[in-house]
Amino acid sequence: ALIAPGAMHLPGWLSVEQQRKLVNACRAWARGPVPLRHTTLPGGGVMSVRTVCVGWHWLPYRYSRTADDVNGARVAEFPDWLTELGRAALVAAFGERSDTTGYRPDTALVNFYDGDARMGMHQDKEERSGAPVVSLSIGDSCVFRFGNTQTRGRPYTDVVLESGDLFVFGGPSRFAFHGVPKVHPGTGDPATGLSGGRLNITLRETGLSG
Ligand code: MD3
Ligand code: FE
């Protein structure tokens, strides 16, 4: 369903097998070289979500090849199979378009939410690319709040994201405010390999080189 111009929600897009593969990959990334961490914000706040990055390391408000706020290690390589999954997601959302094969996501942000974790309303502006963001959800369902490009307040649309859901944010939706105000504990299917919590993987183009 089209939620807003450029914002497409495809419920249940990932098979359980694909979800298991992603859960296993996220476990391997969380084992190293950089562990899952609660990100500290410049104002001193600590995010309740735990994050590990692939390809480029996200810090507020920049990307780096090394985890400068964790252990200084170079982040894991972005694998080719994840590029292909990102392209398949764009095709599923918007059909074969001239820009699909040109999609070269180079970073994945893996966010893990326990039952109390939240993500406040924010815009993702660290990327120097207008390419779409691909979001994949696994495990417990959540309320995803999709807002506007002007303010973190209303108008916004609340959408329930469940395990296997794909969300693509392109065009005018790429710089909209968004957040996760609520996770619903115990709603995930253990067959994905996740026994609790919620996993969200976003694929992005940083627009950086080097
Ligand atoms: C819309 N993650 O990592 S995914 C984030 O579920 C983030 O973990 C949330 O917001 C999560 O920055 C929401 C959906 C999402 C991700 C990136 C976007 C929506 C977006 C970038 C631009 C617009
Ligand atoms: Fe975001």
DSSP per position, 76-116 = BPPPHHHHHHHHHHHHHHH-S-TTTTT----EEEEEEE-TT
Name residues with Cβ closer than 5 Å to ligand 2, which is an ion. Answer: 124
Task: Tell me the ipTM for this assembly.
Answer: 0.94
- pTM of the predicted structure, to 2 decimals: 0.97
Q: Tell whether ligand 1 has an atom less than 6 A from the beta carbon of residue 119.
A: yes
Tally of residues, the chain: 210
Domain membership of residue 119 (yes or no) is yes
What pLDDT sits at residue 21? 98
What pLDDT sits at residue 98? 62
Q: How far is the CA of 127 from the centre of ligand 1 (A)?
A: 13
Whose tokens are 């990102």? That residue is 86
Domain membership of residue 24 (yes or no) is yes
Q: Which domain covers residue 22, as residue numbers? A: 2-204
Taking CA atoms only, the protein residue closest to ligand 1 atom 22 is 174
Q: How far is the CA of 25 from the centre of ligand 2 (A)?
A: 21
Domain membership of residue 19 (yes or no) is yes
For residue 35, give the nearest of 23, 50, 21, 49 by alpha carbon. 50
pLDDT per residue as tens digits for the range 68-114:
999 999 999 999 999 999 999 999 999 987 678 899 999 999 999 99
pLDDT per residue as tens digits for the range 26-66:
999 999 899 999 999 999 999 999 999 999 999 998 999 99
CATH of the domain at 33: 2.60.120.590
Domain membership of residue 210 (yes or no) is no
Domain membership of residue 27 (yes or no) is yes
Domain membership of residue 28 (yes or no) is yes
For the chain, what is the domain count? 1
pLDDT per residue as tens digits for the range 108-165:
999 999 999 999 999 999 999 999 999 999 999 999 999 999 999 999 999 999 999 9
Domain membership of residue 189 (yes or no) is yes
What pLDDT sits at residue 96? 84
Domain membership of residue 209 (yes or no) is no
